[in-house]
Structure 1
Amino acid sequence: MSSVHSTHPETRSHILLVEDDPEISSMLEDVLSESGFVASSVGSATEMDGVLKRGGIDLVLLDIMLPGEDGLSICRRLRAGSQIPIIMVTARSEDIDRIVGLEIGADDYVSKPFNSRELVARIRALLRRAQGGHEGASAGVHPLAFAGWRIDPVSRQLRSPEDVQVALTSAEFDLLLAFCRTPGQVLSRERLLELTHGGAAGPIERSIDVHVSRIRQKIEPNPHDPIFIKTVRLGGYIFTPAVKEV
């Protein structure tokens, strides 16, 4: 049973809950509404597709365990054609299940049972990052170039040396931008989380490895032998190209 709001003020972010448990959906809608969001809920992938087709959704809160098409499949499908922010919700405790969600393009995740304040903090942090408003954005608004690539913090676009736009999730974009703003520096996973999340609630450090892997797949000539983002044993990562403002 879906509960979809037809109108909402433009200044309020619209969160779509994809959750088949009516009690959890109702609770989450109340929490999000009290926190200043517009909240809608659907119970299946089919219902979700109809809502997203109408537009106006700013973030998807996606449960993994759903009837029919599950959350991981939905996330993979959404990422194939959209960069809408996605937070996965899982009742599974194993890190591997969470990592799989990140590997297929989720921006963040929360585990059931979760603290409602933490969930709201994660949503707000992700929306800020998706809109270019996280704290790291104050470091500069000029486009940056490296090895023929161009990354623009204002339009939040990455363009290849062939001037083709390359799709990145919000988390991937923020991580690559952090690297571009700190070239030649060894950055620990903890430091990268600080740079990309501005001190707000964020995922485990292991998620940095997942996002780095996804970025390498998109920018490295050979992702298996990276030359741009190098791993520093026991240290983290270092971005090797020269970077300049353009």
Structure 2
Amino acid sequence: MTQSAKTILVVEDEPSLAIVLCEYLAQAGFQTHIIANGLDVIGWVKKHNPDLLILDLMLPNRDGLDIYRELRTFSQVPVVMATARVDEIDRLLGLELGADDYICKPYSPREVVARIKNVLRRTVEVTAQHGLRINDEQMKATFDGNELTLTPAEFRLLSFFNQHSGQVFNRDQLMQKIYADHRLVTDRTIDSHIKNLRKKLQDAAPDNEYIKSIYGVGYRFTL
């Protein structure tokens, strides 16, 4: 894929800032679209499937955190969160939301472009390793061209793991990612999903162990 094929959605209600940033992104070969109203974001993402979002936290009519949480119920598109307060970034990290990067305003558009390239590069590298391909829109995953037969919960689990390769997550965190409706399930349910997904990955690549148990903590997925 070329950079020119990638679309960046800039969710920002300061017109001058959004326009300048989009000019820098266009110079770097990206396509851009600006949304200023928080209520318009989810529908646009579902319709156009952008390659990355720059998501401001303070938006008219809907908070950026609410948008991010709903976004993660149906998509793993990379998100760079923007805030005007440094201490807000610390709070976001404490919430373990899993955003791909954070930037503090006022920021350098040139630096933002560099960060976006880095995030997209990481995303491509993670997805391309060992032949794993994930299509969130169609909820399909293939390994070396062979489709993996996954339940919806297993697919959401693999998609989340794939976006956060190398990170350790406990059962509660994984539960929230698998079940967006916050239903009550036991640790055994999560363990069962992990066991089944691990077996299907090992069937596709017998010489590798992609999901590892971290004693007393949870699980880590590594490609």
- Relative to the length of structure 1, the TM-score reads 0.57
Matching residue of 1:229? 214
Matching residue of 1:33? 26
CA distance in 2, matches of 1:41, 1:59: 12
Say whether the 8 Å CA contact 1:76–1:105 is kept in structure 2.
no
Say whether the 8 Å CA contact 1:229–1:238 is kept in structure 2.
yes
The amino acid of 2:162's aligned partner reads F
Q: 1:96 aligns with which of 84, 90, 98?
A: 90
The amino acid of 1:165's aligned partner reads F
Structural RMSD (CA): 4.1
Tell me if 1:120 matches 2:105. no
Matches within 5 A, 1:167-246: 167=157, 172-176=161-165, 178=166, 212-213=168-169, 217-218=173-174, 228-230=213-215
- Relative to the length of structure 2, the TM-score reads 0.62
Say whether the 8 Å CA contact 2:170–2:219 is kept in structure 1.
no
Matching residue of 1:165? 155
Say whether the 8 Å CA contact 2:79–2:99 is kept in structure 1.
yes
The amino acid of 1:15's aligned partner reads I
3-state SS in 1 of match to 2:61? coil
Higher helix share: 2
1:42–1:159 Cα change, 3 Å? same
3-state SS in 2 of match to 1:80? coil
CA distance in 2, matches of 1:154, 1:126: 24
The amino acid of 1:77's aligned partner reads E
Equivalenced residue count is 181
Say whether the 8 Å CA contact 2:76–2:163 is kept in structure 1.
no
Matching residue of 2:195? none
3-state SS in 1 of match to 2:103? strand
1:217–1:54 Cα change, 3 Å? closer
Tell me if 1:133 matches 2:122. no
Say whether the 8 Å CA contact 1:83–1:168 is kept in structure 2.
no
Tell me if 1:78 matches 2:68. no
Kindly provide the CA deviation profile for residues 158-192 of structure 1, in whole angstroms up to 9, marking residues without a partner as x.
Answer: 9879983134667x52543x4xxxxxxxxxxxxxx
Segments of 5+ residues of structure 2 without an aligned counterpart are: 134-140, 176-186, 191-211
Q: Post-superposition shift, 1:120? A: 1.3
3-state SS in 2 of match to 1:62? strand
Q: Post-superposition shift, 1:54? A: 2.6
Kindly provide the CA deviation profile for residues 99-158 of structure 1, in whole angstroms up to 9, marking residues without a partner as x.
Answer: 156x2342221111223232112211222233x335x956x4479xxxxxxx97778x99
